[in-house]
Every structure is written in C-alpha cells, then in structure tokens.
Structure 1
C-alpha cells in the first residue's frame, strides 16, 4: 500500500468500526510540538509550564482562560487561545470527520484557516487510504492547499502556491535566476502518467 501525506499525522490516529478518525494523545502532542507553540528561551514560567504539561504529560487536560491570560507574551496568548479552542472542538466531536463537518457548517469563526486545512488534509488522507492513482491524490490537494494556475505550451498547470512563492523568493535572491527563468511553475516536475511514483515519494513536499 502506498503511503502519502505523512505530515497529516494520520498514522497517529485511531479508527472506529466505521473507519472514522479518532483523536489520540499522540496526535494532540504533535500539535503541541509545533514551532508556533514552542516557548522561546525567554518565555515566562507560566508558558513553559503549560507547554510542558500538555506536550509531555496530559494533552487533554482542561486549560482555563485564566491560565492563558497569565501568559506574558501577547502572541503566545493568542496562539494558545486558538490551539486550545481547536483542541477542545476536536475532542468534543465523535470523530475528526464530524469535527470538520461542524466547522464547515459555520462554527469556525475562532479557528484559524491553517487548522481547517490541516483537518481537511487528514480527513482526506483517511478517505483516500489505498488510493494508487497519483493524479487523484494530487487533485485532492486542492481542498486544503492554495494553488497557482498558469498555462504552459497549451496546457493549464496547477502548482502549490506556497511552493511557487518559495521559488520566486529564491529568484529574488539570485538575479541570474530571475533573468534566465520563465514562469516558476515550469521549474517544477509535472505529474503525468509517466511519473506517479515520483509523487508518492515526495508527496509531503507539495512540489509537483
């Protein structure tokens, strides 16, 4: 069986009898290990304690608003408010699929788009489990990864917007590349019937 989108964290989740995704402590800890929540060396004791307890010991424990309000860094307070709201939402739902559906139906006002996209990715990963057609899997990225569209030699090409942005930044850093290159999209390998294994080998790079 081909694996793909390992970064979605699907391997950290359990499944119920119907195959729906169930949250695990390991899945939650992966979120708490994200760089956005990693306290800097200058973080206040309250932030260090909160992060340590959730990451290392009890990722499901209730977090009172007063705990977050006690954090000295306003950016840290905002990040933790979003993270705890998201965590509480997925824990309250019977499955991740149900959590996503509730958000999609209008309860996502306090959930950053990044979390919505990550939730969409892992739900899609579960739905596509066992899929061997790289074009189908690549097309599914449109549901959670913004795309850039261009035409090249009579064909319409879609490329991951974040990947294209990185390529364009590299061009700005190198005037020679900027002078010689065409569209940044054309620098990426194009997925077709001849190279599906290339996609599966690097699906988390989002560069095809």
Structure 2
C-alpha cells in the first residue's frame, strides 16, 4: 500500500461495504489541528475551553453565545464556519452523499477550501492503494488551481498555481528568498520538473510539495490518466460505467450534449453549441477535449442514448485552470431511475 497525501486526513475516515466514506470522530478532530482552529500561545481561555471540549467530543453542541465569548473575532468566525460545516457533514450518511448534496439546491454554502479538501480525499480514495505517480499528479488538477504554459512546440504544461507563486516570490528559497528580494538581490531561477517515467519515483517523496509539472496534450499520459480518474469518479458516485477518451478535436457537427470541466470551457462549449462565433483567442484557451461514452446506454436520457458526450477544459485569461469536478456529477444526461 502506497502512502501519499497524509495531510488530506483520508486515513481517519472509515469505509463501508459499498466503498463509501464514513465520517469518524478522529476525522472531525483533524480539523481542530488546522491553522484556522489550532491553539496558539495567544489563544484566550474561552478558546482553549471550546477547543478542548471539541477535542474530547468533536460532535458536541456548542452554543453560539459561547463562541462570542472568544476574544479574537476572526477565531469566532472560523469556529462558526467550521461548526456549520461539521453539523452538515455529520448529518449525511456518507461523505459522498454530503459532497453531492453541496451542488444541489440553492448553491454551495461551504468555503471553497473545504470543498477542495473533500475533493482531494475522494480522489485519494478512488486512486486506490497503488496508483502511478502520473495518476496522482493528474488527480491534483481536481482540487488545486493550475498555472498553464503553452510552449512554442505546442506542449501544454500544467504547474501548481500556489507553487508557481511561491517560487515567483522567493525563488524557491522560502524566507531567505523573501529577504533577498526585499534587498533587491537577484534570485536564481528554479525550473519545476516535468513528471516523466524517469523521475516518477521522486513524486512520492514530494507528493505534498506539488512541484511537478504535468503535460496535458491529448495524446500524452497525463490526459489519459485524468480520463481514467474521471471514469472512476462517475462510477463511484453514480454507479455508471463510462469510457472517456482524449480528443484532438470535435469532428461531430451535431453533438447532442457537452460538459465543461471548468467555467471557461463551459462558456466556450455553450457558445459553439448555440452556433455563436467564438474568436480565436478564446478558442485558444481550450486545453483538452474528451469524448465520454456510456457503457450501458440504458442509463442515458432516451433522447440522446448512444450518442457521445463531449468534455472540455480551458484556462482563463490569466492562464489558470480551476477544475470543477462536480460538473461531471450534476450535468450528466442520466435517465431517471425508479
């Protein structure tokens, strides 16, 4: 069994006979160790009291008046947000049920950070006990913002946005780099490694550094690994087997259904589907296209049964990609089941 992403706290969850994830007290306690809630030397007596109470019983009911007694108003807000999140989490029969429910109804009322954390946990669950490095790196697209670079030769390179920003600020030298920058000292440029077979083993030593670049061209291993994960993603939530194949282009002039894997791809696909003119600069934002086909055509809406579903992902004007894996769950043309 390969151990990776230990800070996701996946290891604190239970798994039922249907391979669904069950919330445990230890999982809830893990949030109390996060920077937003962890005690610091300046924590007031009331904060320490509430923190200890929740450590002893992470499902304990805490009156809002008790939260208001904390001296730090920011800490009050952090606790209020987390307790609302916790209450909804423990009411759901499984983490999957909670996650799917986030995107139904009146909209997501959970901080994006929490949604990304749950997405990472679900990805880790689906990757299984012995994923390849490229499968794990491809999964990072679902829960971490990516910075896209398109090279002159057409290679599409995806790097972690936070890592790119960190290196831009410090040259990869942490606080020393910040000090050098403040004193106008030149910083040595550090190139991030592109994940390939020759360095794949290094990923497991740097799995939480998020400092490997993934190539995303449709005919490369990264796009194939992402496709396999998305197949598992759909099957896990909907029990529906599909095949997803990266495409160089969509040659179907009469496609019946499409799903954007991010906000920008959704906008572009909608415009093309409606026969609107999309300028070349906008089209150039499209990074990957995919064809999704149902193995069991009976699970599809009758009016499009047997027809392929087209997927796309695209960067924004700042060359960033923010994946929305929930789109694949809520926008599939699934037939109603009795």
Tell whether the structures are fold-level matches, with TM greater than 0.5.
Answer: yes
- Contact residue 135 and residue 191 of structure 1 kept, 8 A: yes
- Contact residue 23 and residue 94 of structure 2 kept, 8 A: yes
- Aligned-pair CA distance for 1:39: 3.2
> In the alignment, what sits opposite 2:124?
125
Superposed CA deviations along residues 185-208 of structure 1, whole A, max 9, x for unmatched, are xx1111012222111232122111
1:121-200 paired onto structure 2 within 5 Å? 121-152=120-151, 154=153, 155-171=155-171, 173=178, 174=180, 175-177=185-187, 181=189, 187-200=191-204
Can you give the 5+ residue segments of structure 2 that lack an aligned partner in the other structure? 172-176, 213-338
Question: Hey, what's the Cα distance between the residues in 2 that align with 1:108 and 1:50?
Answer: 30
Secondary structure, counterpart of 1:168 in structure 2: helix
Question: Hey, what's the Cα distance between the residues in 1 that align with 2:53 and 2:106?
Answer: 28
The count of aligned residue pairs is: 201
Can you give the 5+ residue segments of structure 1 that lack an aligned partner in the other structure? none
- Contact residue 82 and residue 110 of structure 1 kept, 8 A: no
Of 21-30 and 145-154, more deviation after overlay is shown by: 145-154
Superposed CA deviations along residues 63-90 of structure 1, whole A, max 9, x for unmatched, are 2222222222210111001111111111
> In the alignment, what sits opposite 2:19?
19
TM-score normalised by L of structure 2:
0.56
> In the alignment, what sits opposite 1:204?
208
Answering whether residue 40 of structure 2 is matched by residue 40 of structure 1, we say: yes
- Aligned-pair CA distance for 1:40: 3.4
Secondary structure, counterpart of 2:197 in structure 1: coil
Secondary structure, counterpart of 1:62 in structure 2: coil
Query: Rg: which structure is higher?
Result: 2
- Aligned-pair CA distance for 1:30: 1.0
Which structure dedicates a bigger proportion of its chain to strand?
2
- Contact residue 70 and residue 76 of structure 2 kept, 8 A: yes
Superposed CA deviations along residues 148-181 of structure 1, whole A, max 9, x for unmatched, are 111346322111111111111113734322xx53
Residues 35 and 87 (structure 1 numbering): CA distance in 2 closer, same or farther, change over 3 Å?
same
Which structure dedicates a bigger proportion of its chain to helix?
1
- Aligned-pair CA distance for 1:28: 1.0
Secondary structure, counterpart of 2:36 in structure 1: helix
Question: Hey, what's the Cα distance between the residues in 2 that align with 1:10 and 1:37?
Answer: 19
- Contact residue 133 and residue 203 of structure 2 kept, 8 A: yes
Question: Hey, what's the Cα distance between the residues in 2 that align with 1:53 and 1:122?
Answer: 26
> In the alignment, what sits opposite 1:31?
31
Structure 1's consecutive aligned runs of 4 or more residues displaced over 6 angstroms after TM superposition are none
Question: Hey, what's the Cα distance between the residues in 2 that align with 1:124 and 1:44?
Answer: 37
Secondary structure, counterpart of 1:35 in structure 2: coil
- Contact residue 102 and residue 109 of structure 2 kept, 8 A: no
Question: Which structure has the higher relative contact order (CA within 8 Å, separation 6+)?
Answer: 1
